Amino acid sequence: MTTAPLLGPHGSRRSPDERYGTEDVPTGPAPRSTRIAAAGIDALIVLVPLFIGWSIVDALRDDNGGGQADRVVFGAISVSVAVALFVWNRGYRDGNEGQSTGRRWMSLTLRDTDTTGPVGVRRALRRQFGLGRSSSEVVREKTAAADDFEPIPKDGSVAAIRRRRLLGLAVLVVALAAGIFASIAIGARPLTFAEIAHALIDSNGTDTDIIVRTLRVPRTVLALVVGIALGIAGALIQGHTRNPLADASLLGLNSGAAFFVVMAIYLFRFTSPSQY
């Protein structure tokens, strides 16, 4: 146990004769019970989406009216969310800031044993699988602060910004592909992957072919086109108003569109969306 000066409201402006208060700063690794509690919180963050996904997949059994594609889609979504939370919490937060969610709640810090600084994302992830544990330690937050622990600053260089944008674009492309597949696979009529592939590649007019080609593919294309249009409209509106929070209602587009819909119904007797 070491001591550190405890400064009063006047900071360092004290006379030499004044006595400084001291604050006890613990040394060495944090208590095992506290580390276990932090690990439990971090594990719970990953287990919650897995449990929700398992519950949904279990409810989509064949005898409950579910299908193979439905189970795979929802299972893949839950696993992807759990993996993303694990990498973000135990990799980026642990590696760059020294504190995952559990360690932050328990006032703990992960640091390098030799440098007393952050361990980095890769080492933090490797540590979860038992690799490189001897070169890092979990200490109390006060201990790390007394040793001048500082999180890794965010890289603001042009190359780093470009890498982050490309990574974000790749994630969005993967998410778009997954959304298209989910839109075709999920519906009131359970389908298998074989039936979906048959409808897309070698359709011969069966019930499942008709469902995929005349219902699910058109709705997916419509959703894609509408989503692109909304995205472009949002970017133009925000750029025109120079307001990153601007939406269509700010320029009266929503109220104007609703007005012309009512006028079309009243004057031209439109009764279905296709007439517009």
**265 is written with which tokens?**
């119904």
User: What pLDDT, on the 0 to 100 scale, is given for residue 10?
Assistant: 45
pLDDT tens-digit series, residues 152-186: 888 888 898 999 999 999 999 999 998 898 888 88
pLDDT tens-digit series, residues 190-244: 888 888 888 888 888 888 889 999 999 999 999 999 999 888 888 888 888 888 8
Task: For residue 271, list its beta bridge partners.
Answer: none
| Region at 57 (left for phi over 0; alpha for psi -120 to 50; beta for the rest) | alpha
CA 38/CA 52 separation, integer angstroms: 22
Kindly give, in sequence order, each residue whose CB lies less than 8 Å from that of residue 28, ignoring residues fewer than 6 positions away.
139, 143
Give the containing element (helix H, strand E) for 4. Answer: strand 2-6
CA 62/CA 68 separation, integer angstroms: 8
Whether residue 247 is predicted with pLDDT greater than 50 in this model: the reply is: yes
pLDDT tens-digit series, residues 106-123: 999 999 888 888 999 999
Whether the CB-CB separation of 262 and 268 falls below 8 Å is answered with no
Q: State pTM to two decimals.
A: 0.73
CA 225/CA 214 separation, integer angstroms: 17
- In the three-class reduction of DSSP (H, G, I as helix; E, B as strand; rest coil), residue 125 is classed as helix
Q: Of 41-45, 73-77, 123-127, 249-253, which gets the smallest average pLDDT?
A: 249-253
Amino acid (one-letter) located at 46: V
Question: Structural domain boundaries of the chain?
Answer: 32-146, 158-245, 246-276
Report the chain's mean pLDDT, rounded to a whole number.
85
User: What pLDDT, on the 0 to 100 scale, is given for residue 109?
Assistant: 92
Backbone angles phi, psi at 154, to 5 degrees: -70, 135
Q: Find how far residue 199's CA is from the centre of its chain.
A: 34
Whether residue 14 is predicted with pLDDT greater than 60 in this model: the reply is: no
Confidence of residue 254 (pLDDT cuts 50, 70, 90): confident
Q: Of 33-37, 92-96, 128-132, which gets the smallest average pLDDT?
A: 128-132
Confidence of residue 75 (pLDDT cuts 50, 70, 90): very high
